[in-house]
Amino acid sequence: MKMQSTIIALTLTGCLSAAAAPVIAQEHDTPAPPSLKWSFSGPFGRYDQAQLQRGFKIYKEVCSACHSIQMLAFRNLADPGGPGFSEAQAAAVAAEYKIKDLDDKGEPIERTGRLADYFPSPFANELAAKAAHGVAPPDMSTLAKARTYERGFPWFVIDVVTQYQEQGPDYIAALLKGYEEPPTGFQLPSGVQYNKYFPGHTIAMPPTLQDGQVTFDDGAPQTLDQYSKDIAAFLMWVAEPHMVARKRIGFQVMIFLIVLAGLMYFTKKKVWYEVETPREIAHGPDPRKTVV
């Protein structure tokens, strides 16, 4: 046993020390985004309605000029667990948009948006987007789940227990604040920006969000810091609209399973009692063998 654990310990130490060197080198290159506090993290996390509404406002006024959210329908704004728009409010948002459609004669027309419509893309197609920006701005439907950063050992193991699943929003929020002057000696190609959190550091998206750019009616600070958190939270909801229901049901399932496991355990104990306990202890001495 001792020998065995020594072998394992030695092997593990070897692996870890070998791994540590390149990881440290990488960290120096691209810093890990700071882990922010999110209302939707953890087993009881819920989206903050006001934050999602602010995030939506930022999307509508800034991001939507270049980024589509093709899988988000106007009706989703009124879905439970989301930004909490009323159906009338969601319909009013839809009415602000023009949707391409065909009329009865099959002629292309533009009509007012309805609840059932999806948010239209700012570009006719991907080629048009690419022609306008050099790189097609990604669709944001699943963006918050499609972006991450390397957690590395041992963090990725700890994350299982702490339920850390917010790499995406952390990264997005950090990226929006990550624009800075390139360090001396960094060759920045023309038409791109330097961003310390972007892999490779050269990002085609310009720093679009500035302090005071979007007006909030709820008294939240109108700063880049607040904007970046709000849009990241909004995008998390867009990517995972049923998360609140998922965690709520999850808690019920957990309670059920833990109680069931307890009951099963004691049933097992009862059933196995006579097998695991010798007959004499279970039933007392065999009366036939008792000498009077």
Partner 1 sequence: MSGHSTYKPQSKVLLWLEKRLPIGGLIHSSFVAYPTPRNLNYLWTFGGILAFMLGVQIITGIVLAMHYTPHADFAFKSIESIMRDVNFGWLLRYLHANGASMFFIAVYIHMFRGIYYGSYKEPREVLWILGVIIYLLMMATGFMGYVLVWGQMSFWAATVITNLFSAIPGVGDAIVTWLWGGYAVGNPTLNRFYSLHYLLPFVIAGVVVLHIWALHVAGQNNPTGIEPTSDKDTVAFTPYATVKDGFFLVVFCIIYAWFVFYIPNFLVHADNYIPANPAVTPTHIVPEWYYLPFYAILRAIPDKLSGVIALVASIVILAFLPWLDTSRVRSARYRPLFKQFFWLFVVVSIGLGWLGSKPPEGIYVILARIFTIYYFAFFLVILPLLGIFEKTKPAPNSISESVLGAKV
In the complex, minimum distance from the CB of residue 275 to partner 1, in angstroms, rounded to a whole number: 6
Quote the crossing angle between the two packed helices 167-176 and 224-239, to the nearest 10°.
150
Minimum CB separation of residue 4 from partner 1 in Å reads: 5
Tokens for 31? 């810093």
Element (H, E) at 194: strand 193-194
Q: Where are the alpha helices (DSSP H) in 30-105?
A: 49-61, 87-95
Secondary structure (3-state) at 274: helix
H-run or E-run covering 102: strand 98-102
Tell me the CA distances in angstroms from 224 to 30, 40, 78, 174, 204, one per residue in order.
21, 21, 27, 11, 19
Taking the least distance from each CB to partner 1, the nearer of 78 and 143 is 143
- Please report how close the Cβ of residue 70 comes to partner 1 at its closest, in angstroms: 8
Of 109 and 135, the one with the shorter C-beta distance to partner 1 is 135
**Residue 144 beta carbon to partner 1: minimum distance, rounded to whole angstroms:** 9
Is the CB of 110 or the CB of 265 nearer to partner 1? 265
Q: How far is the CB of 132 from partner 1 (least distance, A)?
A: 18
* Nearest one of 235, 40, 46 to 141, comparing CA atoms: 235
Question: Of 132, 117, 130, whose CA–CA distance to 69 is shortest?
Answer: 117
Write down the least CB distance from residue 9 to partner 1, Å. Answer: 10
CB of 5: closest distance to partner 1 in angstroms? 8
List all residues 6 or more positions away from 252 whose beta carbon is below 8 Å from its beta carbon: none
Whichever of 192 and 220 has its CB closer to partner 1, that residue is 192
Nearer to partner 1, 43 or 191 (CB): 43
Residues interacting with partner 1, by CB under 8 A? Answer: 3-4, 7-8, 11-12, 15, 18-19, 21-22, 43, 71, 76, 138-139, 141-143, 145-148, 153, 159-160, 163, 165, 167-168, 199, 239, 241-242, 246-247, 249-251, 253-254, 257-258, 260-261, 264-265, 267-268, 271-272, 275, 278
CB-nearer residue toward partner 1: 15 or 109: 15
As a whole number of angstroms, the distance between CA 33 and CA 37 comes to 12
Measured from the CB atom, the residue of 73 and 214 that comes closer to partner 1 is: 73
Burial of residue 202, with CB atoms counted within 10 A of its CB: 0-12 exposed, 13-18 middle, 19 or more buried: middle
Three-state DSSP state, 99: strand
Residue closer to partner 1 by CB (options 88, 158) is 158
| Min dist. Cβ of residue 63 to partner 1 (A) | 17
Contact status, residue 277 vs residue 69, Cβ threshold 8 Å: no
